[in-house]
Amino acid sequence: MKKTKYYGSIDVDDSNFNVALIKTVGEELLHFKCSSNVSAMVKKIKRKNIHLKDIQLCYEATYPGYTPVQRYKV
């Protein structure tokens, strides 16, 4: 059985982290906002029963990096 991994991006604005994660098995897309601190982001990820070691993130994805994730969601 293939181990589930997540790839994602974090887009930062003045007051929020916008996080998008895609699950490699099943291609499920998860998106959430949280206050702009790491502990709030980690708490939300753990609530979704995702292990931090299974995630690879791109920090500050900016508009060109974050837009494809948003388009995939639609």
Q: Give the number of other CB atoms < 10 A from CB of residue 8.
A: 21
DSSP annotation of 52: G
C-alpha–C-alpha distance, residues 43 and 49, integer Å: 10
pLDDT for 30 beyond 60: yes
Between 1 and 60, residue with greater pLDDT: 60
- Residue ranges covered by each domain of the chain: 7-60
- Average pLDDT over every residue of 18-26: 89
Q: What is the pLDDT of residue 74?
A: 43
Pairwise CA distance, residues 57 & 8, whole Å: 5
> Cα(55)–Cα(8) distance, rounded to whole angstroms?
7
Provide the whole-model pTM: 0.71
Q: Give CA separation, 60 vs 13, 26, 46, in Å.
A: 9, 25, 21
